[in-house]
Chains A and B, each alone.
Chain A
Amino acid sequence: MSMKQLKVDNLFHKYGIVEVLNNISLSVSSGQTLALVGPSGCGKSTLLHIIAGLLTHSEGHLEQPFEQLACMFQSPRLLPWKTALDNIALGLKARKISRLERQQRAIELAGQLGLTRDDLDKYPHELSGGMQSRVALARALLVSPELLLLDEPFSALDIGLKLELYQLLRRHVEEHGTTVIMITHDLMEAVRLADSILMMAPEPGRILAEFPMAQPHALRDDNWIYRTSVELMQQPLVRLGFQLDGVGINHEDMPQPVAHGGCAP
């Protein structure tokens, strides 16, 4: 297998006259996972859409050599007139795989994602938010893409499900040699899953720093993940990117959170 590499060089993007991406350069080799982190509105989704070929950038160069790609959008974007099962199998239907086979494969994968056979017969509006996002993730994974683009894939899930799906994603990536670009707001998630983390900053969206994660995935236990995340949080560039030292927001003026009295009467 030849090594393919996705490359973005000095890329700019404008919506109208507003510049949202400024001089972005990055590269991902096949089999690698890149995490994009950064504050809301810094252009992460825009960059992902450009890489997916859904948006044409204003300036710069994009080399995207992967043929099969799948994208999980920030909102689930399920087809409301298809059941969960048919939504998951969409990509296989586009590849003219027989109904029986694509449904079997969809059911199997959905099971691994914790969706029951009952859920699969429902229409999207009958599913909870977390189920919808798992259906969207299954739809992306089922086509076994060479390049997998994930926009905050786990943000609607509870912690137990997240941990399960992290494992599932890692297994899938290792089995298929998938190249992944994922957006997340959760630094620990990035530390756990990525081979490299890109820190972005807003106005205009640009890359502040790149943090390679050299630790082999097999050796990333919880301890290492906590430690590394904390170390990252102490990096000046990360604090700057997330405006942790109160640029813009004055934390002293924030009201103290009110203690929650519990839900029972």
Chain B
Amino acid sequence: MFNYFLRSLSATLSYLWSGWGAIASLLLFCAAWELAGLYYGSLILPGPVETLKQLGTLFDQGELLPELLISARRALYGLLLALAAGTFLGMLAGFSVTASILSRPLVTLFLGMPPIAWLVLAMLWFGLGDATPVFTVFIACLPIVFAGAMQGTRTLDNQLKAVADVYGLPPLMRLTDVYLPHLASYVFPAWITALGTSWKVVVMAELLSSSDGVGAALAVTRAQLDTSGTLAWVVAVLAALLATEYLLLEPIKRHVERWRQEENA
């Protein structure tokens, strides 16, 4: 037990340590941004400091959080629907050779379809309510999750299935002890990609179809030619994305995949 504790402690520390690299590279990027800002002037490209100040103002005015929450809610609904449907359908397709052969070109097709095309269709179908961004997020994330789940199911190891047969694993245990752990290593990366996509798509959808949310706020700053406001919103969106990925999903992924060989440390 103590051993286990030590292992998780060292895993946590090494994760935190790897964060320094990420922070250093972000700071480097900010420096380059600052330089470019000095060169072009703050009207065209406000530097990071000015952008952060603007962000602070937005926060103080009580605009930032409500708008972020509205966008986050829409992205989350679309994403959750896509995760549930995509994982389930992908697993089903993966279990059948025919279904996976049939669905491969469809996945390529759906992945290649630009989200903006879906957005236009969604606006025609659902009008200007919440449903439009939620649907666009859903349909943009679905093929990513579907492909991951199908791939994971297709690569299930026949040798391990034989082990499950010989030792008489009941169906539920087969699922939890053999299929899902394998599947998770394919599905988690797909989920993380889908999360990024959902954020990007929700902002784009709101920009064109909503009167609230971050996308709508961006539309306002654009109309007012407010570059620093635009950048402030962009930074807010990116910060929210990085925070969910590195503070929530990545630690979960590490925990779930702690049995993996550390080849990408």
Contact = CB atoms under 8 A, between A and B. Distances in A.
Q: Does B bind A?
A: yes
A171 interface: no
Contacts of A123: 258-259
B166 A70 contact: yes
B177 A118 contact: no
B159 interface: yes
7 contacts: A69-B166, A70-B167, A82-B259, A94-B167, A95-B168, A125-B259, A143-B167
A77 B160 contact: yes
A94 B170 contact: yes
Interface string B145-185: 00000000000000110110111111001000110011000
Nearest to A123: B259
Contact of B177 (A71, A77, A79, A139): A79
Nearest to A87: B163
Contact of A81 (B163, B168, B259): B259
Contact of B159 (A70, A77, A118, A125): A77
A120 to B, nearest CB: 10
B4 interface: yes
B3 interface: yes
Interface string A85-110: 00000110111000000000000000
A94 B1 CA distance: 24
Interface of A: 49, 52-54, 69-71, 73, 75, 77, 79-82, 90-91, 93-95, 118, 121, 123-125, 139, 143
Contacts of B165: 53-54
Contacts of B168: 91, 94-95
Q: Is the interface of B mostly helix, strand, loop or mixed?
A: helix
Interface of B: 3-4, 7, 159-160, 162-163, 165-170, 173, 177-178, 181-182, 258-261
A71 B173 contact: no
Given A77-B162, A90-B169, A94-B173, 10 more contacts: A70-B167, A71-B166, A73-B162, A79-B160, A80-B259, A82-B177, A90-B167, A91-B167, A125-B260, A125-B261
B215 to A, nearest CB: 40
Contacts of A124: 259
Instruction: List 6 A-B pairs, minimum CB-CB distance, nearest first.
Output: A81-B181, A81-B259, A91-B167, A123-B259, A71-B166, A94-B169
A192 B261 CA distance: 39
A93 B162 CA distance: 17
Contacts of B261: 125
A73 B169 contact: no
Given A81-B181, A82-B177, A82-B259, A73 B163 contact: yes
Contacts, number: 57
Given A94-B167, A123-B259, A73 B3 contact: no
Given A75-B159, A82-B177, A94-B173, A118 B166 contact: no
Contacts of B178: 79
A54 B160 contact: no
A52 B166 contact: yes
A61 to B, nearest CB: 21
Contacts of B177: 79, 82, 90, 93
Contacts of B163: 73, 77, 79, 90
Contacts of B7: 121
A54 B181 contact: no
Nearest to B3: A121
Nearest to B174: A94
Contact of A54 (B166, B169, B170): B166
Contacts of B259: 80-82, 123-125
Contacts of A143: 167
A249 to B, nearest CB: 31
A233 B5 CA distance: 54
Contacts of A53: 165
B124 to A, nearest CB: 46
Contacts of A71: 166
From A52, A54, A70, A79, name the one whose CB has the most chain B CB atoms within 10 angstroms: A79
Contacts of A52: 162, 166
Contacts of B4: 121
B152 to A, nearest CB: 13
Nearest to B163: A77
B3 A118 contact: yes
A54 B162 contact: yes
> Which of A71, A81, A91, A121 gathers the greatest number of chain B CB atoms within 10 Å?
A81
A124 B259 CA distance: 8
A91 B182 CA distance: 19
